[in-house]
Structure 1
Amino acid sequence: MTGLTNKRLLLGVSGGIAAYKTAFLARLLVKAGAEVRVVMTDGAQAFVQPLTFQALTGHPVHTTLLDPEAEAGMGHIELARWADLILIAPASADLMARLAGGLANDLLSTLCLATPAPVHLAPAMNQGMWQHPATQHNASLLAQLGYTLIPPESGEQACGDVGPGRMPEPETLLHWIEQHFATATNNTVQPATGLRITITAGPTREPLDPVRYLSNHSSGKMGYALAAAAAELGAEVHLISGPVQLAVPAGVQCLPVTTAEEMLQACEARRNQTDLFIACAAVADYRAEQVAEHKIKKQSGQDAMTLTLVKNPDILAQMATGSPRPFCVGFAAETQNVEGYAQDKLLRKNLDAIVANDVSDPGIGFGSDDNRVTLLLRKGEHTEIRPLPQNSKQQLARQLLLELLTFYKEQQQP
């Protein structure tokens, strides 16, 4: 028996070269014991034939909204009610736009509106399409509407471009689905039950021109581990993520962003629905004063180039001083005087707690799987310092959350 035995998975496939990966995913889901039904858009059928999915799942593939035989019994409504989970992989830019607009002009979009089941999207498209403001706006709107987006991975694309927009591999999506059901079936009352936690994670990217940007080495692993731990502890979790190559943890609503200004807007939009705000993202301190419309070319005889940078907004400080004010937790990634700089940041930004870690240590720095941190808790005019031993980021995230939840509840008492 596996965690997917007898689970009812509705697999949506929209147009894109990544549709071939979805065929492998369907095979893995069936092997794991799930009942799988497939719905394909017209665009998807241009890349993979429905017969492929029928052979892999053992069930006819659904392609038409107004199928006379199925509609005699309101087939699309029955299919929407049947599913325990709808996963759309790949989710094209066109499909995302239609879902964001609430359209129901084909079978797949109609099912998404009619189903009581959670709907998760694995976007896949050209890097330029993914990073276009219209697509990012639609991604933000979809997250607000309750859809879960799995951030696309970066890498070489079928068109020859390199950048974000690749659909995660079938094994990654399978693991993510297993996590979703493992969390959903855990009905134990947890310490974070009833709390709304917003977490930022990953780096931001500040464009210089259409092909270059300023960023940092953050992998997002710590923020994603915190989001997973918060969901497992019973919280309603919203993850606001910069560009990373990680699958969204089960039970977590994720909004992908790129720049610091986009991250600030997303955080402010969540202010009224946030009890705890945990700023784990490595936000770029500066951005280009002007973004070049075209690629900046190297000039003959030019040995140096001057860039004018301006300060980015301080997301954590704005969340800690605005109204309503959530319980605010910051991160201080330092290379020297770690506790001293963290203490200064705790007081200067009016935070409730801060997590300090030494990123100069290659064993626990950016991109590593382990971490060792010190938790600083602000108690009136005093600061309590709690060093936490080195551990995997997953184990450390759970320990951090438990410490923070205890402190948060203490602060809420009259």
Structure 2
Amino acid sequence: MKRIVLGVSAGIAAYKSVLLLRLLREAGHHVDVIPTANVARFVGNATFEALSGNPVTSEVFDAVDTVNHVRLGQQADLVLVVPATADLLAKAASGLADDLLTGTLLATRAPVVMAPAMHTEMWQHPATEANVAMLRSRGVHIIEPAVGRLTGQDSGPGRLPEPEQILEQIQVHLGEAVLAGRKVLVTAGGTREPLDPVRYLGNRSSGRQGVALARAARDAGAEVTLIATHLEVPAPHGVQLIQASSALDLHEAVFAHAPGQDVLIMNAAVADFRPASIESAKIKKRDGHSAPLIELVRNPDILADVVTARDTDPLLPRLIVGFAAETGDGEGSVLDYGRAKLATKGCEMLVVNEVGAAKTFGAETNEATILFADGKAAVNAAGSKIEVARIVINQLANAI
């Protein structure tokens, strides 16, 4: 059992803190709830008291004899703030302590986790971004808001994640992380194969799924290294970031960083081919001349190369997860090609996506099937890319 302080700031998402409180209590934890004064406009103290089994107040001058604003922070194993409004983030970043919750945040030396929730414009305001960066620099773990329906007709980033998702992300702080003590190497993004100083051959990958996998592995307690090739989204905080560009760059980076890792997740979209030669000057379009012919050569198969190399190198990961972006045709379905690729690659798990102009690449959601080399029944994963990532991470945690 852990002693948890659950801070609740005044936003419409406060109702989800009630559901999180129930989950924490069902898991056997002692929970002290500290709402800010205006939370009562959304959820009453009686609800928090009934579910926590403890008295609830937002006042510094209640229970003065126990020095409440210091005692609660000192005794806590973990301090959560769910939801964390823009106002609360600003106060915490500035070190203000004008109520019981902000005083507790200053007094505690326990891990602090905040789950912001607000309208998109507020979340993306430079002041909020600066406050979040400041809190992160002090070691506060910020749970990224979800993308979805907000108050009224608005939709976008700023939605509080579901309580079950928040609980998953705090497992590492509760000593229940499924990948605690493990090292995970993730590749993400799409490679670019240069034609000349200006142009390249590339693909539609945004890197969103790979970044989500790095986040999910980090939240599961792993020490994560992310090799990024041209991401359209920022890399998650709390991971080691390595940059790569082409397939050859990625091949070199993987073999440089894979030794000593427990798991390798090969999510990057790697070009199968590259130009046989790279022009030193921009290829010109000239009147009266035909279009240039570009000769292609095969790129190395990074996934297959690592699987082969570990037969003689005990430092390479024992668990390797591949990704296959497939389209069906007259000769086979997406899963047919996926199963064939699993057999030829030799990895332990293969996550198969059906891709297309409007599927997977660049989208916020994903649908995938996880195949296992040991014959275990396939697992379907669908939802937002972070939800799919968590399913993949839980499956590989069971396989280690």
- Please, what TM-score do these two structures have when normalized by structure 2? 0.58
Residues 202 and 116 of structure 1: CA distance in aligned 2, closer, same or farther (over 3 Å): farther
Residue 151 (1) aligns with residue 144 (2): yes
Are the counterparts in 1 of residues 189 and 208 from structure 2 also a CA contact under 8 Å?
A: yes
In the TM superposition, residue 221 of structure 1 has moved relative to its aligned partner by 4.1
Aligned residue for 2:194? none
List aligned pairs for 1:247-266, cutoff 5 A. none
Residue 60 (1) aligns with residue 55 (2): yes
In the TM superposition, residue 104 of structure 1 has moved relative to its aligned partner by 2.0
In the TM superposition, residue 200 of structure 1 has moved relative to its aligned partner by 8.6
Q: Which of 302, 323, 326 is the equivalent residue of 1:360?
A: 326
Q: Which of 78, 94, 100 is the equivalent residue of 2:71?
A: 78
Residue 97 (1) aligns with residue 90 (2): yes
SS at match of 1:333: coil
Aligned residue for 1:17? 12
Residues 48 and 158 of structure 1: CA distance in aligned 2, closer, same or farther (over 3 Å): same
Aligned residue for 2:129? 136
SS at match of 1:33: coil
Residues 70 and 113 of structure 1: CA distance in aligned 2, closer, same or farther (over 3 Å): same
List aligned pairs for 1:4-403, cutoff 5 A. 6-65=1-60, 67=61, 69-178=62-171, 180-183=173-176, 190=181, 192=183, 216=206, 218-219=208-209, 220-228=211-219, 231-232=221-222, 235=223, 276-277=240-241, 332-334=268-270, 336-337=272-273, 340-341=298-299, 357-360=323-326, 364-365=352-353, 366=360, 367-370=366-369, 393-394=392-393
Residues 331 and 21 of structure 1: CA distance in aligned 2, closer, same or farther (over 3 Å): closer
1:222 maps to amino acid: L
In the TM superposition, residue 396 of structure 1 has moved relative to its aligned partner by 7.9
Residues 24 and 238 of structure 1: CA distance in aligned 2, closer, same or farther (over 3 Å): farther
1:333 maps to amino acid: A
Are the counterparts in 2 of residues 199 and 277 from structure 1 also a CA contact under 8 Å?
A: no
SS at match of 2:157: strand
Are the counterparts in 2 of residues 336 and 358 from structure 1 also a CA contact under 8 Å?
A: no
> CA–CA distance in 1 between the matches of 2:249 and 2:91?
34
Are the counterparts in 2 of residues 370 and 393 from structure 1 also a CA contact under 8 Å?
A: no
Give the total of aligned pairs: 295
Residues 201 and 55 of structure 1: CA distance in aligned 2, closer, same or farther (over 3 Å): farther
> CA–CA distance in 2 between the matches of 1:121 and 1:357?
32
> CA–CA distance in 1 between the matches of 2:108 and 2:178?
19
Residues 87 and 42 of structure 1: CA distance in aligned 2, closer, same or farther (over 3 Å): same
Are the counterparts in 2 of residues 226 and 398 from structure 1 also a CA contact under 8 Å?
A: no
Larger Rg: 2
2:241 maps to amino acid: F
2:103 maps to amino acid: T
In the TM superposition, residue 399 of structure 1 has moved relative to its aligned partner by 11
2:68 maps to amino acid: G
Residues 176 and 100 of structure 1: CA distance in aligned 2, closer, same or farther (over 3 Å): same
> CA–CA distance in 2 between the matches of 1:240 and 1:39?
40
Are the counterparts in 2 of residues 80 and 111 from structure 1 also a CA contact under 8 Å?
A: yes
Superposed CA offset, 1:344-391 (max 9, x none): 9xxxxxxx9999744235562343455689xxxxxxxxxxxxxxxx99
In the TM superposition, residue 331 of structure 1 has moved relative to its aligned partner by 5.7
> CA–CA distance in 2 between the matches of 1:59 and 1:315?
57
> CA–CA distance in 2 between the matches of 1:202 and 1:159?
34
Aligned-CA RMSD value? 4.8
In the TM superposition, residue 169 of structure 1 has moved relative to its aligned partner by 1.7
Are the counterparts in 2 of residues 39 and 62 from structure 1 also a CA contact under 8 Å?
A: yes
Unaligned 5+ runs, structure 2: 191-203, 251-255, 259-263, 275-296, 303-315, 328-333, 336-351, 354-359, 361-365, 373-377, 380-390
2:22 maps to amino acid: R
SS at match of 1:359: strand
Are the counterparts in 2 of residues 11 and 39 from structure 1 also a CA contact under 8 Å?
A: yes
Residues 336 and 28 of structure 1: CA distance in aligned 2, closer, same or farther (over 3 Å): same
